[in-house]
A and B are shown apart, each in its own frame.
Chain A
Amino acid sequence: MNIKATLLASAVALTPAFAVAQDLTIGFSQIGSESGWRAAETTVTKQEAEKRGIDLKFADAQQKQENQIKAIRSFIAQGVDAILLAPVVATGWDEVLEEAADAEIPVVLLDRTVDAPEDLYLTAVTSDLVHEGRVAGQWLVDEMAGEPCRIVELQGTTGSSPAIDRKQGFEEGIAGAEGLEIVRSQTGDFTRSQGKVVMESFLKAEGGENICALYAHNDDMAVGAIQAIKEAGLNPGEDIKIVAIDAVPDAHLAIANGEMNATIELTPNMAGPALDALEAYLADGTAPAKWIQTESKLFTAADDNAAIYEEKKNLGY
């Protein structure tokens, strides 16, 4: 009996391809609940794992790298088949990633990358922040169709990489277009209340009727700005066109209500492409590209935003 079991176990171990389809165990080290988007990512990752019949071991690091390293070590000790890692910071991962590599456990990075040699992880699934900004800029160029437009910009937290990249992308997006210019740009710290406060000052400094469009680096600031525009007696979405990034449920609601024009999705589904790549790799060793870019989908009034809102609001945003 004992020998049989051992033989069976080693047979299974020797034919990894056989074991792949079912009974995968994957560890997921999540940063923590830093934002609504993060919560949605956790929910979607769990859903994706369940859909594929994968046993997902979830570890919440509460924004601490040492907790993530501990979690990865415990995943290695448990002998998981693969590890998903959403790294809280970029540096300091070499050692623990080497431990995983020594144990021949592939690691896939979600949403953020790390400063470590590329051979220490299988692939990184992230969105391209510059591309998101470019899509937003391109949308506005198409929307204006040659007409001039004075744009105000609500930046993210000063110095943060989403703020820098989304600004750069948008500027690239509108670069070729005549008459499109950013007249005011100020940080709204990615929050609703600052978005509202800064928009109020924009409306007064420029005069509401002289502003043609608002570009916000995230939806929360746009939602705050919408209230400021309303309080100034203007119609958001009509008098001032609004485009933002993230596609959180409240942005879909605002588009459905005609108060916002477009949002670009930062998909919380990083796990889908990651698990696809992992399954292919574990099945027959297909090495994925080192960077898998998620789709930056544009949502406008043409989409059924009310339905998307209903769908998204329970994801934990």
Chain B
Amino acid sequence: MPATTPSLFKRITPQLLILAVVIGLNFLVFPDFFDVSFRNGRLFGNLVDVFNRGAPVALLCIGMTLVIATKGIDLSVGAVMAIAGATAASLVTDGYGWGTALLGALATGALCGFWNGFLVAVLRIQPIVATLVLMVAGRGIAQLITEGTILTFNNEGLIRLGAGTFMGIPTPIVIWLALGTLATIGVRRTALGMLIESIGVNEASSRLAGINSRVLLICVYLASGLCAALAGVIVAADIKGADANNAGLWLELDAILAVVIGGNSLLGGRFSIVASLIGALIIQSVNSVILLSGMPPEFNLVIKALLILAILVIQSPRVAHLIYMLRASGPERLPERQRPSVQEPKEDAL
């Protein structure tokens, strides 16, 4: 079902509202939040930082949205980031060019994704268990590649991917916006998105309907691996070094959270990449509030938890229903919106 613009807007309205509120919070704690200047050949400002620092989670959540739409989950993305970053760093330190390093890292990510997809689609291991394998082992693999050190490099081309700019805009922003657009068009202007959703809703019947679910599942995990690899390269390039211990640590959880904030059901089915990307921006805006507020770091996680909790409560079906009831009982009745629950992801269709 190709998304037409009005229905897409309707779909992401709650996410946009939340984003506006969190950005407003940023403005409250730091009135100069919207100041964007051009300094040292690049856009410079807090708003730019939100988009720039949100890049790894944004990239991860593109792949994660697709995986979750098939009723799966990919816990390994953080570890794959570390592996890909380590691969890229070790290739450039061995004297290869940045192009080779990038391709090498993407190939490693694709391999990791293929491994996950194979476990899930062919061996029929539950996704959470199948990807847990690589989540645990991945950091070890990355450490083997970097030999336990932070592998630093000075390759200008590779560094530009993380810390450089493209027409004054930090490269990571350009990369995730481009990939997000590409992925959205790819799944919404073709039948691909619907096929992925059908696997998530009912894999058995979609296979009976003639969908090659096995290949499609492997491809989805492969895509997630590729996104993770790209995020890993960006993170490594940003600090000019591959830190196998810390690169992408716990980011799989942020990526899953972004997908959830984006209103996608963990039970699979209908998905929206755009909403997930806004979810990623919301998470980064929350991080930004914490950094700008100047509160002692002991409060970081508490503040983040409270804000996220508030966001999830507002999005919960009960509260959504309550809001609907309030609106429906008001003077302006919406005749065509009598039963909004039909429009929700069908959580009980399984």
Contact = CB atoms under 8 A, between A and B. Distances in A.
A238 to B, nearest CB: 15
Most buried by B among A33, A34, A197: A197
A168 interface: no
A33 B150 contact: no
A187 interface: yes
B30 A231 contact: no
A192 B236 CA distance: 10
B186 interface: no
B39 A192 contact: no
A193 B246 contact: yes
A189 to B, nearest CB: 7
Contacts of B45: 204
B288 A201 contact: yes
B152 A250 contact: yes
Interface string A197-212: 1101100110000000
Contact of A36 (B30, B150, B296): B150
Contact of B241 (A155, A159, A192, A316): A192
A204 B46 contact: yes
A155 B42 contact: no
Contact of A197 (B53, B143, B149, B247): B53
B257 to A, nearest CB: 18
Interface string B211-244: 0000000000000000000000001001111010
Contacts of A196: 238-239
Interface string A226-255: 010001110000000000000000100000
Contact of B150 (A159, A220, A232): A220
Contacts of A39: 148-149
Interface in B143-202: 143, 148-150, 152, 163
Interface in A132-161: 155, 158-159
Given A227-B163, A227-B239, A316-B149, A201 B297 contact: no
B6 interface: no
Contacts of A64: none
Contacts of B149: 36, 39, 316-317
Interface in A169-218: 184-187, 189, 191-194, 196-198, 200-201, 204-205
B338 interface: no
A78 interface: no
Given A33-B143, A316-B148, A193 B238 contact: yes
B39 A233 contact: yes
Given A33-B148, A231-B40, A193 B292 contact: no
Given A33-B148, A220-B150, A158 B300 contact: yes
A224 interface: yes
Interface string B294-317: 101110100000000000000000
A2 interface: no
Interface string B123-157: 00000000000000000000100001110100000
A220 to B, nearest CB: 7
B292 A159 contact: no
A191 B243 contact: yes
Contact count band on A: 20 to 34
A21 to B, nearest CB: 35
A100 B219 CA distance: 56
A204 B243 CA distance: 26
Contacts of A231: 40, 42, 163
Contacts of A194: 246
Contacts of A33: 143, 148
Given A159-B298, A200-B49, A232-B39, A224 B239 contact: yes
Nearest to B45: A204
B129 to A, nearest CB: 23
A185 B296 contact: yes
A198 B49 CA distance: 11
B291 interface: yes
Contacts of A198: 291
Contacts of A15: none
A155 B148 CA distance: 23
Contacts of B44: 232
Contact of B243 (A193, A197, A233, A317): A193
A201 B246 contact: no
B171 to A, nearest CB: 12
B245 interface: yes
Interface string A10-26: 00000000000000000
Contacts of A232: 39-40, 44
Contact of A233 (B40, B238, B298): B40
A192 B163 contact: no
A35 interface: yes
B50 to A, nearest CB: 10
Given A155-B297, A233-B40, A193 B247 contact: yes
B239 A193 contact: yes
A155 B298 CA distance: 11
Most buried by B among A35, A39, A200: A200
A191 B238 CA distance: 13
A196 B239 CA distance: 8
B275 to A, nearest CB: 25
Contacts of B243: 191-193, 220
Contacts of B42: 231
Interface string B267-300: 0000000000000000000001001101011101
23 contacts: A33-B148, A34-B245, A158-B300, A185-B296, A191-B246, A192-B239, A192-B243, A193-B235, A193-B247, A198-B291, A201-B291, A204-B46, A204-B49, A204-B292, A205-B30, A205-B292, A220-B243, A227-B238, A231-B40, A232-B44, A233-B40, A250-B150, A317-B149
Interface of B: 30, 32, 39-40, 42, 44-46, 49, 53, 143, 148-150, 152, 163, 235, 238-241, 243, 245-247, 288, 291-292, 294, 296-298, 300
